[in-house]
Amino acid sequence: MFVCGPPRRVWLTCLLLVGGWLLGGTGAHAAQPDDARRAAFKQAYAAARQGGSAWQALATGLRDYPLYPYLQEAALEHDIQQIDRATVESYLTQYPDWIPAADLRRAFLLELARRQDWSDFLAIYRPGLGDALSCDALQARLANGERLDFDKDLAALWARPSLPDACDPVLAAAHDQGLLTRDRLWMRIDRAADAGQAGTIASLADWLPAADGIDAKRLALALSDPATALATATSWPDTRRARQAATLALVRMARRQADNADAAWQQLRAHLSFNEQQRDRVLQALALFHATDFDDHALARLIALPAAAQTDATREWRVRVALARQNWSAVLAGIDAMPASQQQDGEWQYFRARALAALGRSGDARQLFREQAGNATFFGFLAADRLDQPYAICPLTLADDPQREQALLANPGLLRAFELYAVDLPELARREWTRALHGADEVTLRIAADLANRRGWYDRAVFTLSSGNALQLYDLRFPLASQDGLVPQARQAGIEPAWAYGILRAESAWMSDAHSGADARGLMQLLPDTGELVAKSNGLNWGGGDTLYDPTVNIALGTRYLAQLAARFDGSPWLASAAYNAGPNRVDQWLAARGTLAPDLFVATIPFKETREYVARVMAFSVIYDWRLHGAAVPLDVRMGAIGQPYGLPDATTVRRPISCPVAAPATASSTVGASP
More confident residue, 221 or 652: 221
Q: Specify the pLDDT at position 397.
A: 86
* Alpha carbon distance 262, 120 (integer Å): 59
Each as own residue / partner, the long-range contacts of residues 227-235 (CB below 8 Å, 24 or more positions apart, any chain) are: 227/253, 227/257, 227/260, 230/260, 230/261, 230/264, 230/268, 233/264, 233/268, 233/271, 233/272, 234/267, 234/268, 234/271
- Over residues 628-641, the mean pLDDT reads 96
CA torsion through residues 238, 242, 248, 249, sign: negative
More confident residue, 636 or 675: 636
Kindly report, residue by residue over 547-582, the tens digit of the pLDDT: 999 999 999 999 999 999 999 999 999 999 999 999
Given a cut of 60, is residue 13 above it in pLDDT?
no
**Cβ contact 646:571 at 8 Å:** yes
For 328, what's the count of Cα atoms within 13 Å in the CB-facing half-sphere? 13
Kindly report, residue by residue over 501-516, the tens digit of the pLDDT: 999 999 999 999 999 9
* Distance, CA of 206 to chain centre: 37
* Alpha carbon distance 270, 412 (integer Å): 69
Q: Which band of pLDDT confidence, cut at 50, 70 and 90, is reported for residue 343? A: very high
The vertex-545 CA angle with 543 and 546, nearest 5°, equals: 85
CA torsion through residues 107, 113, 115, 119, sign: positive
- Over residues 379-399, the mean pLDDT reads 96
**Cβ contact 523:507 at 8 Å:** yes
Kindly report, residue by residue over 638-677, the tens digit of the pLDDT: 999 999 999 999 998 999 999 999 875 444 433 344 334 4
- Over residues 1-6, the mean pLDDT reads 42
Q: Specify the pLDDT at position 398.
A: 87
- Over residues 176-198, the mean pLDDT reads 97
- Over residues 101-130, the mean pLDDT reads 97
**Cβ contact 474:393 at 8 Å:** yes
- Over residues 7-29, the mean pLDDT reads 32
Given a cut of 60, is residue 27 above it in pLDDT?
no
Poorest-confidence range of 48-52, 115-119, 399-403? 399-403
Q: What is the mean pLDDT of the chain?
A: 92
Q: Specify the pLDDT at position 108.
A: 98
* pTM of the entire predicted model: 0.91
Letter string b/e over residues 590-622, b meaning 16 or more CB atoms within 10 A of that residue's CB: bbeebeebebbbbbbbbbeeebbbbbbbbbbbb
**Cβ contact 124:105 at 8 Å:** yes
Q: Specify the pLDDT at position 412.
A: 96
Query: In the chain, helix, strand, coil percent, each to 5?
Result: 65, 5, 35
* Alpha carbon distance 156, 128 (integer Å): 12
**Cβ contact 83:52 at 8 Å:** no
- Over residues 33-40, the mean pLDDT reads 94
Q: Specify the pLDDT at position 664.
A: 53
Distances in Å between the Cα of 351 and the Cα atoms of 121, 326, 608, 618 are: 61, 11, 19, 20
* Alpha carbon distance 387, 667 (integer Å): 20
- Over residues 77-98, the mean pLDDT reads 97
Classify residue 466 by its DSSP letter: -
Radius of gyration of the chain (CA): 29
- Kindly report the number of other CB atoms within 10 A of residue 454's CB atom: 14
pLDDT over 90 percentage in the chain: 91
Given a cut of 50, is residue 147 above it in pLDDT?
yes
Given a cut of 90, is residue 156 above it in pLDDT?
yes
* Alpha carbon distance 542, 557 (integer Å): 10
Q: Specify the pLDDT at position 484.
A: 82
* Alpha carbon distance 16, 409 (integer Å): 7
Kindly report, residue by residue over 317-337, the tens digit of the pLDDT: 999 999 999 999 999 999 999
Ramachandran bin of 522, using left for φ above 0, alpha for ψ from -120 to 50, beta for the remaining angles: left
* Alpha carbon distance 257, 495 (integer Å): 39
Q: Specify the pLDDT at position 309.
A: 95
More confident residue, 340 or 483: 340
For 301, what's the count of Cα atoms within 13 Å in the CB-facing half-sphere? 23
More confident residue, 673 or 591: 591
What is the H or E stretch that residue 391 is in? strand 391-392
The residues, ordered by sequence, that sit 6+ positions from 88 with a Cβ below 8 Å of its Cβ are 76, 104, 105, 108, 124
Q: Specify the pLDDT at position 481.
A: 84
Given a cut of 70, is residue 608 above it in pLDDT?
yes
pLDDT over 70 percentage in the chain: 93
CA dihedral 319, 323, 326, 331 (to 10 degrees): 30
What is the residue-wise DSSP string for 406-417?
A: HHHHT-HHHHHH
* Alpha carbon distance 49, 60 (integer Å): 17
Q: Specify the pLDDT at position 642.
A: 97
Pairing of strands 391-392, 659-660: parallel
- Over residues 344-350, the mean pLDDT reads 98
Kindly report, residue by residue over 466-480, the tens digit of the pLDDT: 999 999 999 999 999
